[in-house]
Amino acid sequence: MTTQPTPQHQEPTNSDPHQKHQSTWGIVAGASLISTGLAAYEIVPASVSPLIRDSLGIGPTIAGFLVGIMFGTAVIVSLPVGAVLDRTDSRNVMALAVLTLLVAGTWGWIAGRQGDYRSVIASRALGGVAYVVVWNAGIDIVSRAATSENRATAVGIFTASGPVGFALGQGTGPVIAHRFGWPTIFIAFTGLTVIGLVVFWPASRGIGTSRGAAPSIQEFGAVLRNRKVWSVGLLGFLGYSLYLFVNSWGASYLTTELGLSLAVSGLLVAVFPAIGVVSRISSGLLSDRVFGGRRQPIVFVSFAVSAPLVLLFTQFRSLPLLVTFLLLTGFAVQLTLGLSFTYVREVVDSRVAATAVAFQTSVGLAGAFLAPIAGGVIVDRAGFDTAFLLAGGLAICGIVVAWRAPEPGYS
């Protein structure tokens, strides 16, 4: 049975290639600033956890929820957000998300000053909604604004806002907390998102809207039944699992097994996410420029390089060698994280692309949520060698999935 072509999302109306190019990179810059501010807001409680615990009189588990609640919220909310984005103006939704963060940040600041940890956690859940909206809407709008020749590059630059924001939050959180009090961390980065919105708003005019009928429930369901979507989603799940496992347990390994101080271990392991700024941008450039828009070779190389590095990590005691391993592993793992969001929207119809991106976000962050917990159980019961061995097994699974991954077609 044949079907009529479905209307596509409206492209920028400006026909001047130079002006359109400027608009595209204005969108990327603005959306990246918004996402950077939100990523810093997401991770910053981890940098001052002892201060928060002492002030609120809470244990490590509850303190952990201050970061973990945002991942959990994102997993639950991401798919509904994607369905909304496919039926509304992503540009307006992005602005609403910034406003939501302002509310959540102010709420958390007031609750922190009052010593109400339940209200602080609730404010963080609201911030988690803002984060997942910006992430999904940002990828959607950046993808539509870019051309097929530079789409992966543009999305890679946007996704690099994640590690940039993490570094900003981890690096400045203690300074802000000691100077202005720890509750200030919840409002410290909201100004960056407002600046980002000021840059993003004029550049994105005409990009976020869609014409034609909204995708039907059947089309939405087709995304969830699409084997290609599940294949790319599994790559994201495995990639984020590796990413959060090393982030969560690398420093503990260096402290427990090698006798380094926690401060030195944390500094060494910080190179693992930090290299993501280079890796996530490089993934798009390599895919667009070297492989002619092909996505599968990049994710295959990502896991093929990661697997032996993770498997062998605990076999070396030399600090320079371990730092080299962390740099190479961080670069390799984040090649997949930078590219998978471009990848998944290209294996579905553009009318439900935001839903596909939301699915990718939800599945990937499920790996991010589960990996540190599972890693902790394995470390407690069997030790670091077994934990890193099993993590290497995840990378080997990634090789198999990447080998069979679909290659999106290009017009």
Domain match, 331 and 381 both: yes
pLDDT bracket for residue 316 (50, 70, 90): confident
Most confident of 73-87, 113-127, 255-269, 278-292: 113-127
Position 170: which residue type? Q
Most confident of the ranges 109-123, 162-176, 264-278 = 109-123
Confidence of residue 410 (pLDDT cuts 50, 70, 90): very low
Specify the pLDDT at position 124.
94
Determine, yes or no, domain membership for 3.
no
Would you say residue 9 lies in a domain? no
Give the end of a domain, one of 151, 186, 214: 214
Q: By percentage, how much of the chain surpasses pLDDT 70?
A: 90
Give yes or no for residue 12 having a pLDDT over 50: no
If you average pLDDT over every residue of the chain, what do you get?
84
397 lies in some domain:
yes
Tell me, yes or no, whether 167 and 291 share the same domain: no
219 within some domain: no
Read off the pLDDT band of 250 (50, 70, 90).
confident
For 32-85, the pLDDT digits (tens) are 999 999 999 988 887 787 788 888 888 766 777 787 788 888 889 888 888 788
Residues 368, 401, single domain; the answer is yes
CATH of the domain at 272: 1.20.1250.20
Q: Which residue has the higher pLDDT, 221 or 55?
A: 55
Q: How far apart are the first and last CA of the chain?
A: 23
Q: Report the C-alpha gap between 15 and 330 in whole angstroms.
A: 40
Residue 267 forms part of a structural domain: yes
pLDDT of 10 strictly over 90: no
Give yes or no: residues 229 and 332 share one domain: yes
End residue of a domain, out of 214, 240, 261: 214
| Cα 96 from Cα 90, distance rounded (Å) | 10
Q: How far is CA 371 from CA 183, 248, 312, 335, in A?
A: 29, 9, 19, 19
Which is more confident, 233 or 216?
233
What's the per-residue H, E or C state across the chain?
Answer: CCCCCCCCECCCCCCCHHHHHHHHHHHHHHHHHHHHHHHHHHHHHHHCHHHHHHHHCCCHHHHHHHHHHHHHHHHHHHHHHHHHHCCCCHHHHHHHHHHHHHHHHHHHHHHHHHCCHHHHHHHHHHHHHHHHHHHHHHHHHHHHHCCCCCHHHHHHHHHCHHHHHHHHHHHHHHHHHHHHCHHHHHCCCHHHHHHHHHHHHHHCCCCCCECCCCCCHHHHHHHHHCHHHHHHHHHHHHHHHHHHHHHHHHHHHHHHHHCCCHHHHHHHHCHHHHCHHHHHHHHHHHHHHHCCCCCHHHHHHHHHHHHHHHHHHHHCCCHHHHHHHHHHHHHHHHHHHHHHHHHHHCCCCHHHHHHHHHHHHHHHHHHHHHHHHHHHHHHHHHCHHHHHHHHHHHHHHHHHHHHCCCCCCCC
Domain match, 189 and 238 both: no
Contact (CB, 8 A) for 373 and 243? no
Q: Is residue 12 part of a domain?
A: no
Q: How far is CA 292 from CA 196, 285, 407, in A?
A: 31, 10, 12
351 inside domain? yes
What separation in angstroms does the CA of 370 have from each of 63, 151, 238, 293, 365? 17, 30, 11, 32, 8
pLDDT at 232: 93
Whether 41 and 61 map to the same domain: the answer is yes
Q: Which domain holds residue 47?
A: 20-214
User: What's the confidence (pLDDT) of residue 211?
Assistant: 45
pLDDT value, residue 132:
92
The pLDDT of residue 353: 81
Same domain membership, residue 368 and residue 296? yes
Its sign, for the CA torsion 42, 329, 397, 294, is: positive
Residues in the chain: 411
Assigned domain for 114 exists:
yes
Residue 106 predicted with pLDDT over 70: yes
Mapped to the 3 state alphabet, what secondary structure does 138-197 carry? HHHHHHHHCCCCCHHHHHHHHHCHHHHHHHHHHHHHHHHHHHHCHHHHHCCCHHHHHHHH
The DSSP bridge partners found for residue 210 are 9
Whether pLDDT at 386 is above 90: yes
Q: What is the residue whose two structure tokens read 């540190």?
A: 372
Q: Are 44 and 185 in contact (CB under 8 A)?
A: yes
Residue 5 has pLDDT above 60, yes or no: no
- Determine which of 31-45, 97-111, 287-301, 338-352 has the lowest per-residue pLDDT on average: 338-352
Domain boundary among 186, 214, 242: 214
**Counted domains in the chain:** 2
Rounded Cα gap, residues 268 and 318, in angstroms: 12
Q: Can you tell me the mean pLDDT for 338-364?
A: 84
289 and 166 belong to one structural domain: no
Residue 185 and residue 233 in one domain: no
196 and 235 part of one domain = no
What radius of gyration, in Å, describes the C-alpha atoms of the chain?
21
In angstroms, the CA 28 to CA 37 distance is 14
Q: Are residues 150 and 235 in the same domain?
A: no
Instruction: Give me the percent of the chain exceeding a pLDDT of 90.
Output: 35
Who wins on pLDDT, 64 or 310?
310
Please indicate, yes or no, whether residues 43 and 115 belong to a single structural domain of this protein.
Answer: yes
* 21 CA to centre of own chain: 25
